[in-house]
Chains A and B, each alone.
Chain A
């Protein structure tokens, strides 16, 4: 099989998974509730609204027709209207997505930059004290609840030490209203940089320090563990022993020869971690009161974010389903990207 055919096959598989995903959300939203029209209409829809929704989604037609309508809508980017915002779901998500992705990308990058060297060190000193210490830390990082970590970081750095702002969205927004940034990519941080608004960039960056720390510890732990495992496997290979016998410096063997071969398995996880950190961003955007992204939409959409009284607010179903579908698309694209990177590193897998 040549590379082109392989890439096309992986792309097709991605499409199959996405259609499957849409099918799952369809079944969950159309079959589980007793009356889907009420479900899509929010808490107390008027009879007229139920009538309109029944017409729009074809709830009075056979199931296959409902599925056809749903599939057609999703594929043409019509994710419905958000109940709480009264705006199209897709527009809301596209507005929030750049900020969420910025946060996810920065924390994944930091986790890779710190995690890979630490993983290599752990592998070099396998079984020694450094290795055990790194293992304890990485297992610990993976077990830290991100929503709690964010709160504790706020407590220590903002309330006790006062060196960083506690929830700086309001402050940042005030600054930005006096020094507006052009919307280019939709990501506030990137746009501030591109439009040369250094004050705005600094304000946004400052508000992102604690969120990025909160988000990167979990992937850091995972990357250290996987780099270590992958490096150990390569260091035991014959060609590494040969290289040692030839007197190639240890540094060059570790960071050049072995590392290059240990990297691809780690990168597989990097893709998954990037996609997975979207979940972390949901918590972090809530905890830190950040510039609104996907997380803000979820908190709003569940209708439960603010009240702890036990009375569930109205659930914004189209919004929640829309976020789920977009997240699944990001997952699928990340997996696809990982496949491409793997081919670049190792042509053998296409056979």
Chain B
């Protein structure tokens, strides 16, 4: 039996799924928006002349805008030089939003990767050893699932402190149960297949079997779940930052910007509008992709939580 070919066949199935999906209009829209936002996030430093701190407070004098009261002079409505206007400290809002997208994508990615790693470790261990190990690990997973994500993350951030890493660790730690269940379910199937039994008969150790055979063959559904969860992770991060429990100023963050915009709502509509639109596009595009993928994989279930 050619053991090494198993992961390839699993990947080929994923490739076929992607080809079918590429003909789906909504999926296509989702991918286009994600690519657009990824380009903005990655190339933010080169896309705007202002830098993440809007060229700094001292470098550019606070712009004076005709017709805007002096006490909010930092806030300028959109002009050609500042397409999204400027925010409370006179920084270019477009630059801030672009760097905010960068922060969102970074944390979103970190969160799902951390959640996948924890989930894989728990799920594969549970599936491979079975018995009481499985029982205990899965009950712990149930307990974590019975908690609303944000509330648990809130508790963790309150303990370890609000920061970029605080919010990333808190969300990663609460996000793994779904991944653990997926990995366990898939690994339970893989475990009984002949090539695993053959490896066992050939004297391969437990660790080797998990890493060489069960892990690569359990990855495909997890990759789908990661794409699905990116949107929700980004939303959760922005929510925590909005509550003051996530990324702290002066780092550009969409949730923080939306929080700050509330104090100027009556005069500066652009300050609330643009960060929110980009946050919405981030969540929407990942949800669109996730929705179409799940619809294709299991037409009876549409994967919105």
Q: Which residues of A contact B (CB under 8 A)?
A: 16-17, 20-21, 23-25, 28-29, 32-33, 39, 132, 135-136, 138-140, 142-148, 151-152, 154-155, 159, 221-222, 225-226, 228-229, 232-233, 275-276, 278-279, 282-283, 286-287, 298-299, 301-302, 304-305, 307-310, 312, 315, 317, 320-321, 323-324, 327-328, 331-332, 335
- Per-position binary interface string of chain B over residues 190-206, scored 1 when its CB falls under 8 Å from any chain A CB and 0 otherwise: 00000000000000000
B258 contacts A by Cβ under 8 Å: yes
Quote the shortest CB–CB distance from B147 to chain A (angstroms).
Answer: 6
Q: Which residues of B contact A135 (CB under 8 A)?
A: 26, 291
* Contact, CB under 8 Å: A304 / B244: yes
B231 contacts A by Cβ under 8 Å: yes
Q: A143-B280, A283-B239, A310-B248 are in contact. Are A136 and B265 (CB under 8 A)?
A: no
Chain B: interface residue count, which band?
A: 35 or more
Stretch with Cβ within 8 A of A (4 or more), from B2-10, B152-160, B216-224: B152-160
Q: Which residues of B contact A310 (CB under 8 A)?
A: 248-250
Q: A308-B259, A335-B146 are in contact. Are A139 and B287 (CB under 8 A)?
A: yes
Please report whether the interface of chain B is mostly helix, strand, loop or mixed according to DSSP.
helix
Q: When chains A and B are docked, how far (Å) is the Cα of A270 from the Cα of B178?
A: 20
Among B142, B155, B248, B256, the one with the most A-chain Cβ atoms within 10 Å of its Cβ is B155
Contact partner of A159 (CB less than 8 A), chosen from B235, B266, B280, is: B266
Contact partner of A143 (CB less than 8 A), chosen from B140, B156, B256, B284, is: B284
Q: Which residues of B contact A232 (CB under 8 A)?
A: 299-300
* Contact, CB under 8 Å: B147 / A302: no
Contact partner of A302 (CB less than 8 A), chosen from B152, B156, B158, B261, is: B158
Quote the shortest CB–CB distance from A228 to chain B (angstroms).
Answer: 7
Give the 5 A-B CB pairs with smallest separation, nearest first.
A304-B244, A20-B143, A148-B276, A143-B284, A143-B283
Q: Which residues of B contact A151 (CB under 8 A)?
A: 258, 261-262, 265, 272, 276
Quote the shortest CB–CB distance from B176 to chain A (angstroms).
Answer: 13
Among A229, A323, A332, the one with the most B-chain Cβ atoms within 10 Å of its Cβ is A229
* Contact, CB under 8 Å: A145 / B276: yes
Contact partner of A20 (CB less than 8 A), chosen from B140, B159, B239, B280, is: B140
Contact partner of B143 (CB less than 8 A), chosen from A17, A286, A323, is: A17
B residues 274-305 touching A (CB-CB < 8 Å): 275-276, 279-280, 283-284, 287-288, 291, 299-302, 304-305
List 4 additional A-B contacts (Cβ < 8 Å) besides A23-B143, A147-B258: A24-B147, A308-B256, A310-B250, A331-B146
Q: Which residue of A lies closest to B25 (CB)?
A: A132
Count the A-B residue pairs with Cβ separation under 8 angstroms: how many? 168
Quote the shortest CB–CB distance from A323 to chain B (angstroms).
Answer: 7
Q: When chains A and B are docked, how far (Å) is the Cα of A348 from the Cα of B302?
A: 25
B260 contacts A by Cβ under 8 Å: yes
* Contact, CB under 8 Å: A148 / B284: no
Q: Which residue of B lies closest to A320 (CB)?
A: B158
Contact partner of B304 (CB less than 8 A), chosen from A20, A139, A301, A327, is: A139
Q: When chains A and B are docked, how far (Å) is the Cα of A24 from the Cα of B258?
A: 32
B245 contacts A by Cβ under 8 Å: yes
Q: Which residues of A contact B273 (CB under 8 A)?
A: 152, 155
Q: Which residues of A contact B144 (CB under 8 A)?
A: 24
* Contact, CB under 8 Å: B244 / A29: no
Quote the shortest CB–CB distance from B239 to chain A (angstroms).
Answer: 6
Q: When chains A and B are docked, how far (Å) is the Cα of A222 from the Cα of B301?
A: 12
Q: Which residue of B lies closest to A20 (CB)?
A: B143
* Contact, CB under 8 Å: B148 / A229: no
Q: Which residues of A contact B301 (CB under 8 A)?
A: 229
Q: When chains A and B are docked, how far (Å) is the Cα of A233 from the Cα of B298?
A: 12
